[in-house]
Amino acid sequence: MRPIALFLAVLSFAVAALAAADESHRVSMDKNLFTPKLLRVKPGATVEWVNDEKRTSHSVFFESEKLAESQRLFPGESWKRTFDKPGSYPYRCGPHPEMVGIIEVAP
């Protein structure tokens, strides 16, 4: 009986660890703002940016990383990125450079 209980305990911790690594988070793009402006996540988390505007398009641009800008996101559209490495990831909207945010990744 004890080996089964130990196995179940180990299995539950493994499932919890996998779930934490696969966390999803949402950033709203509305009124020319990213909300939340600062998002703290764990390594392995996926962030989804959703355009909640009624008429305006936005993008997500990690300029300091020299990554390509996301496609233009029209109302109701979204874009995702997974963050595997700890660090601070500032980003902005391509067509609206005053629209800024930061993703902080830490264990």
Domains of the chain: 23-105 (2.60.40.420)
Given its phi and psi angles, is residue 70 left (phi above 0), alpha (psi -120 to 50 degrees) or beta?
A: beta
The answer to whether 25 is annotated as binding is: no
Q: Give the CA dihedral 52, 37, 27, 29, nearest 10 degrees.
A: 20
43-67 pLDDT, tens per residue? 999 999 999 999 999 999 999 998 8
Residue 17's pLDDT is: 43
My answer on whether omega of the bond before 36 falls inside 30° of 0, hence cis, is: yes
pTM equals: 0.78
7-20 pLDDT, tens per residue? 444 444 444 444 44
Q: Within 13 Å and on the Cβ side, how many CA atoms surround 104?
A: 6
Residue 65 has what DSSP assignment?
A: G
